[in-house]
Structure 1
Amino acid sequence: MTEVSTSLTTSQDEITRWSGWPLRQRPAVGLLILGALLLAAYGTWEASPWITPLAVGVPVLVNGRFFFPTRFEATAQGLAATHPTFAPRRIRWDEVDRIVLDRPGVWLVVPTKTHRFSKARIMPVYEDMATPRVASILANHWEPQA
């Protein structure tokens, strides 16, 4: 069950919290992935039972953002994401280069260097199923730089 947000309207000075969980948003994809993992476990069990937990556990931990809920907190300073399978991440609003809207939520893009061909850090921000309003929360806190 997703956590209910602390408020329905946001101002730039208040703290807004929500939880997003892609597995609950797309259960059909989750069932397909679970079926593939169980099939891999069944296939490796006869050959080497000790590798079966690795065949199931490693993909679940690597893709933990899909399998476990992520808690988000938007403040006037930035956005923080906490999750059971990775260290908490914080991004200041002035670091965000652009926000890309997507079906399950949004992506915060933070450039790592000023070089033209450098890669960027991307932070997925998932929608809250109870009140889908992540885009409006981010619009209150983040202003595009000219």
Structure 2
Amino acid sequence: MTMRPEFETEQFQKGLEVRKEVVGEEYVERSLNAATDFTAPLQKLVTEYCWGDVWTRPGLDRRARSILNLGMLMALNRKDELKLHVRGALNNGMTREEVGEAVLQAGIYCGVPAALDSMRVVVETFKSIDEESSEG
């Protein structure tokens, strides 16, 4: 990864480590390498404050944070982020069954259309993970 000067802060490095552990090094490297002068400030903000500040707080463990993220992303209809955080939830110790239960739980409060769309995303993500595992 080419390190941009604005990415060389201690807080960025702290967030970068957590971000890679949760959502995967390949995804993070791709996102950061694609950063332009225009988009780099957002990557810096997300990495430092979301991953370096909030995800490292002691009040909740990563598994609990993943459960919350699944529900919120489902409610907000953010399919791409949901796909990413399904992988993160598995990395943070959730089982596939628990991810399914999170979709059911959130579906009651977010509505059936959100639950159906989210379950499709979860199934597609599991399939992708399985294909990647069988290739590697």
TM-score by length of 1: 0.29
Larger helix share, 1 or 2: 2
TM-score by length of 2: 0.30
